[in-house]
Amino acid sequence: MKTKSFLLLCLFVGITIAQLSAQGTKVNFSGKWIINIEKSQLLPTTFVKEYTIEQYDNVITFKFTHLGLYDKETTSSYSYTVDGSKSTKEDDFGVEVTIAKWSEDGKSFTVSRSINSKFDPAFNEELLDEYKISKDLKTLTISHTTDFATYQIIVYDKAVN
C-alpha cells in the first residue's frame, strides 16, 4: 500500500512539475524574418520587408531597414520588455504609452499602445499589436488592430541560414 501511495505521489509531482515548466516556456522570436506579401493583408503604406529579432528573456528587440523621409533607406530598432509593465516614450510628435505582455501559453505576445499627439490634443489612438509564431516556428504573423477593427495582418517567413 505504501509503495502504491508513493508511486501515485511521484506521478502527481511529476505531472505538476511538467505543467509548471510548460507554463514558463516562452517561444523564441529570434531570427531573420522576411515578408510574405502573398499571405499578408497590407495597407498601401510603408511596411517592413525584413526584421531581425533578438530575444533575451523578456526583452524582444526588432531591427529593420525601411524607406524613411524622401525615400531614404533608414535603419531603426525598437524593443519591448514583455512583462506587463507600462513604458512611456515622448518625442517631438507626442507621447506613446505601451504595455507588452505574454499570452498565457507563452506562444505569442501583445503590445497595447496609446498615442497622444502634441499637435492635436484631441488626437488619441489606441492600438493593439499581436505577435505570434506558427507551431513549426517558421511563420511570424503580426496583426495590427485599432479600437474598431484589424486593419493589417503582416506575415513573415523565417529566413533559412
What span, in angstroms and rounded, lies between the C-alpha atoms of 101 and 160? 28
Asked if the model's pLDDT at residue 4 lies above 70, the reply is no
Ordered domains of the chain (ranges, CATH): 28-158 (2.40.128.20)
What span, in angstroms and rounded, lies between the C-alpha atoms of 74 and 69? 9
pLDDT in tens, 64-111: 887 666 777 888 888 999 999 999 988 888 899 999 999 999 999 999
**pLDDT band with cut points at 50, 70 and 90 for residue 12:** very low
What is the Cα gyration radius of the chain?
20
DSSP string of 11-78?
HHHHHHHHHHHHHH------EEEEE-TTT-B--SS---SEEEEEEETTEEEEEEEEE-GGG-EEEEEE
Q: Which residues contact 48 (CB under 8 A, 6 or more apart)?
A: 35, 64, 66, 154
Residue 25 C-alpha cell reads as 516556456
Nearest alpha carbon to residue 121 among 91, 93, 147, 86: 93
